[in-house]
Chain A
Amino acid sequence: AQSVAQPEDQVNVAEGNPLTVKCTYSVSGNPYLFWYVQYPNRGLQFLLKYITGDNLVKGSYGFEAEFNKSQTSFHLKKPSALVSDSALYFCAVRDSRGGGYQKVTFGTGTKLQVIP
């Protein structure tokens, strides 16, 4: 079975400082990895994905994530945090094997609070 762990329920960071939101995963085959953001009372919004290739993936709003196969991690990063980045962040994974459809599994989420 595939799973995602987001070890921090909340991350606090000062505006202008770099931020990291951690994610580790478990999957039998090679992973497809995703980050989504959720603002209050809104649906999830796609940020970025890793399918194959370069381990550093760049996404929306200046976010990036680094895939580390040996550590089974896919941490979300941003060089300089904005107050408007405050939201709930979800990491997700699916197994690349088998082609066709396979379901995406989400983590429990990390609340990011950027302090002015």
Chain B
Amino acid sequence: GAGVSQSPRYKVAKRGQDVALRCDPISGHVSLFWYQQALGQGPEFLTYFQNEAQLDKSGLPSDRFFAERPEGSVSTLKIQRTQQEDSAVYLCASSPPGQGNTGELFFGEGSRLTVL
């Protein structure tokens, strides 16, 4: 596709359920980032992949959060045993080779998670 694609756009989960959020980056983009954006806040870094390698997961808030990118393209962010404080928009961004640090990030439209 032309841009970063995220699915689902909206997800409602009951507390305790597991959820999986998918990100399909722009073809050829090596770097992939996940951010969490709570209502009225800026994006907060969760994790970073370079190809299939997860180089930084320091932003994942707990061991309930897990991300993978097994073939270096599509990535999945999984949240186990969801809690109400997990309610947020989860943004995925990708960046082409050589631009991951100094260039622009291309963001998807986000997956809005609401935990009841």
Contacts and interface: CB of A to CB of B under 8 A. Distances in A.
Tell me if B's interface is mostly helix, strand, loop or mixed. Answer: loop
A115 interface: no
A35 B102 CA distance: 13
B102 to A, nearest CB: 5
Contact of B107 (A41, A45, A107): A45
Nearest to B56: A103
B101 A94 contact: yes
Interface string B43-59: 11100101000011011
Contacts of B108: 43
Interface residues of A, number: 24
B42 A108 contact: yes
Contacts of A106: 35, 42-44
Nearest to A32: B102
A51 interface: yes
B104 A49 contact: yes
B109 A102 contact: no
A60 to B, nearest CB: 10
Interface in B89-116: 91, 93, 100-110
Nearest to B44: A106
B103 A103 contact: no
A101 interface: yes
A42 B59 contact: no
Contact of A44 (B31, B102, B105): B105
Contacts of B26: none
A104 B93 CA distance: 12
B104 A41 contact: no
Contacts of A46: 104-106
B4 interface: yes
Nearest to B112: A41
Interface of A: 4, 32, 34, 36, 41-46, 49, 51, 90, 94, 100-109
14 contacts: A4-B42, A32-B102, A36-B105, A43-B110, A44-B91, A46-B104, A46-B105, A51-B102, A94-B101, A101-B56, A103-B45, A104-B45, A108-B40, A108-B41
